[in-house]
Structure 1
Amino acid sequence: MSTSQLTALRRYALKTDEELSKLPPSVLFTKTDKTVTVYDLYPKSNSFHFLLLPRITSLLPQNSVANLKSLLGWDKEKAQRVIETIATDAKIVENMIGDEMINRFGFKWPIFVIKLPASKYEPLLKEDLVCWKCDELFSTIPKLKEHLKKEWEQEASKAAKLKLKAKSTSAAATCKRKAESNEDTERAPKRMA
């Protein structure tokens, strides 16, 4: 990450609650007193790619969170608390993402948060992109993104059809029970008053 990119992220981490509340919803996803989560601003990222940053406060000065190695100079307990807070807030964001997937698309796919060494991911960057569902290959992220949008729409359509079919089947069963009940009433001997 370039110095200018890190400076931009540091600005978010330095903002007060009041300043963060003025950020547009397209930038700020969520915040706590210890972390701030922002959307990735690159067009290649989709709506489920976030950056979770530690908030820089008087208790957590800027030079102490330059990177994870800077935590090594701290008291171990304090450094551990910072890492645990970030992990806890990341789990909360992960759950929020899952809820949003279900709300938006009607289903949820696996969410992963991993550390990948450069030696492992650099060769992957040179390979074609593959659709998780149909294994079709794509040379660029925008092409894959457009394809995935169609896949998600198809999944949502299938789910809607299944829901409609279940509702229709349920309604037909209710009508059949009512018809049978009416037939039983008509067949029953009439009582004389």
Structure 2
Amino acid sequence: MIFLNKINEHDHEELKIGFKVFLHNDNQKFVQEAIDKALAILKVNSVDDVIISFRQTQSEDKKDDLGQIQNVWRALETFVKNEKVKHLGIADVEENTFRAIYEWAEIKPSIIQINLATCCVVPPTLQAFCKENDLKLLTHSDPSDILPSEYVEDIFGKPLTLQWALRFLIHVKCRGVLITKGYVLKLAKDLVI
């Protein structure tokens, strides 16, 4: 794998490795499996940060599911306790949800990501909260559905369900240069009953 050559050109301490896990539900097994699989593929023992993102529906009245996030967060905290992940984050949640997770979590989120397509101006209250608590406030432009089912069927010629997707980004720390990125996916056959 070409990306392993790029990684091996540097000492692990020189690299900043980040994962973003795209989930459709709160199955702890999926988030554990995604992170473990990516660590194994990249042949590293730990990463700097993991950000979770739940697929957003287009419904205007859709609210964040705090229980869903908390369930996955418990699995993420285990990775930090086992020193496989240094920092945790979450993408595309309402400010109140982020604050609730921050107050509830044993291992606090240190990153919040906001989609540029849905937010033109970061709320001043969120900016202040992040500054007060030394949190990274980042933006992104990822689609709400990272791999739509119709694309999956076009690519593989049969209906499959995306269980999870993980994107990895690897930078050289002192220069901020992106040396490689990629995706790890888990697809399952759709059962026809």
TM-score, L = length of structure 1: 0.22
More helix, by proportion: 1
Larger Rg: 1 or 2?
1
More strand, by proportion: 2
